[in-house]
Chains A and B, each alone.
Chain A
Amino acid sequence: MADPMRIRAQAAGDKTTVRVLMSHEMESGQRKDASGNLVPAWHIQDVTASLNGKQVFSAEWGPAVSKNPFLQFVVKGAKAGDKISITWKDNKGETRTDEATVS
Chain B
Amino acid sequence: MQTRRQTLTHTAALASLLLGAGLLPLQARAFNKAAFDAKGLQDAMKALGGGALTESKDVMLTAPDIAENGAVVPLAVSTTLAGVKHLVLLVEKNPSALVAVFNVTDSVEANFATRTKMGQTSDVYAVAITNDGKALYAKKEVKVTLGGCGG
Taking Cβ atoms with an 8 Å cutoff, the residues of A that contact B are 15, 26, 28, 30-32, 45-46, 51, 54, 56-67, 69-77, 91
Q: Mark B91-118, 1 if CB is under 8 A from A, else 0.
A: 1001110111111011111011111111
Enumerate 23 A-B pairs (CB-CB under 8 Å) in ascending A order: A26-B117, A28-B95, A30-B95, A30-B119, A46-B29, A57-B102, A57-B107, A59-B101, A60-B103, A61-B100, A62-B96, A64-B99, A64-B118, A65-B114, A65-B116, A66-B117, A69-B115, A70-B74, A70-B113, A72-B112, A73-B111, A75-B107, A91-B31
B150 within 8 A of A: yes
A-B contacts besides A28-B95, A46-B31, 8 pairs, CB < 8 Å: A56-B108, A57-B102, A57-B107, A59-B100, A64-B99, A64-B118, A71-B114, A75-B109
Q: Which of A26, A67, A76 contacts B108 (CB 8 A)?
A: A76
A62-B98, A71-B113 known; A57+B108 contact, CB < 8 A: yes
Cα distance A31–B71 when bound, in Å? 12
Taking Cβ atoms with an 8 Å cutoff, the residues of B that contact A are 29, 31-32, 36, 71-74, 76, 91, 94-96, 98-103, 105-109, 111-119, 148-151
Task: Decide: B114 and A62 in contact? CB cutoff 8 A.
Answer: no
